[in-house]
Structure 1
Amino acid sequence: MAARDKVELELRHAQKLEAVGRLAAGIAHEINTPIQFVSDSVQFVTAASTDLLALVDKYQIAVRAVLAGTPALPAATEAVEAEHAADLDYIAGEIPAALRRALDGIDRVSVIVRSMKMFAHHDQDMRDVDLNQAIQSTLIIARNEYKYVADVDTELGDLPLVRCHVGEINQVVLNLLVNAAHAIADVHQGGDGRGRIAVRTSVDGDDVVIAVSDTGSGIPEAIRHRIFEPFFTTKDVDRGTGQGLAIAHSVVTEKHGGSLTFTTELGRGSTFTIRLPIRGKGAGLAA
């Protein structure tokens, strides 16, 4: 049993590395965009500051000439001309806007970094977790996978803290989001249409429920009984090894005492539903 647990742990770790590797380019792009906002804004403020300091210097020369009783008109004229050239009204309006863009960019990067930290969190023991926050972090991490093919609707209910291994549940939700995006991409391949992904959470008795729905291609009836089998996949090699759903099923059912089920309809999409005991695996038995 110990050997089996070790193999399953290694498989989960390998699958997580695979997912992170696949998402790395997308995460880098998500970070690069706000960083570019920051860079452009700082460059503008730097250039504007240089112009303003040069203008202040010219006015100081004119003021010193007046105080010294020497002819100040040439220096004052030069300062006024520099003021017109600098377009102070434009600078006065744009510097605050540029600083806001820079701050917004920094905030965006901070959100992504916090999401990455939460997604990568590894607990040896279960702990009480805000699952809605974890799901929102995973949506940010996965954004580059779905943003070109689907819009995402979230309906996150009022949940209690849930005892779980949050890093592993993040991985399960990520797998479902990526699969949903791929299913939608298959439908709209070569077209301009977009699909929808819906993520919903709710409480049902002693369980919390997470549902991920898509408007993708649906799952053919002939393979529905196999989708939780290890290494079974209908995807191209660059889209995964077929471990995702198998490991997700193992994490939810065996490690957390929950369930992972699905409903599907060809041409209309699928819904995968995770049920987790709020108080953790075996809580109901202990009660």
Structure 2
Amino acid sequence: RLEGKVALITGGASGIGESTARLFAKHGAKVVIADVQDDLGRSLAKTIQSDSTYVHCNVANEADVQNAVDTAVSMHGQLDIMYNNAGPAGHHVQQRRHHGDLQHGHLVVDPRRHDKVFDVNVYGTILGAKHAARVMAPRKRGCILFTSSMVSVSYGEVSHPYSASKSAVVGLAKNLCMKLERHGIRVNSISPDAIPTPMSARATGLGDVRKVQEAVAPVANLKGVMVDANDVAHATLYLESDETRYVSGLNVVVDGGLCLNSLILGKQSRD
């Protein structure tokens, strides 16, 4: 489904990014994995296929993002897919008690943590889109995708900076959709629920991916399915394939219908 395409995935060394990199490679894409987890990234690039590669990339650093895009083009001659998936290493759930919260009726925000979340989730995605569009526009085609979150369309037990940043990502995707359509570039976002990954295990304080699965299962609307990163990867594959060549400006929610419930993650449904 992606034969002959070149994909750059930020945050590609673990979690959703890793699952997506493996799936894209399985479907014929040449994958460039961009991350700050160098050992994991290099190991993954070696295991998925011979013409995949790893590049160190802090998405909040424009020089790193530019280098990642240029590496993809210099190695493969083009960039067809830019998946902006990188996220900050795990403040969004556990540390909500310490910032972006209400204490005695007052909103408390730690500017340093706020800036870190926005630097990666918002500024980093803008940089990714900027440099992807730079090389896609002359070819009049390409796909840009952002990882947002279910909290962009509903309430979640997360910090205010995290929620605001993920809502900003959806707005950015829609805005870029209108700006880049004249260049043949599609732009979409994907909003997963709390997907069991090493990052979510750290962020929730549960420490283990299996424990995250066990915590998510009781509040999930869709019973009988144990969600994992592959569910997001398959939705991503669909959005980046030619099967969705006329789909742009869409925010695909991968949460088993949870956002329709107004549930607080981690609490039991009243039903």
Decide which structure has greater helix share. Answer: 1
TM-score (norm: length of structure 2): 0.25
**Greater Rg over alpha carbons, structure:** 1
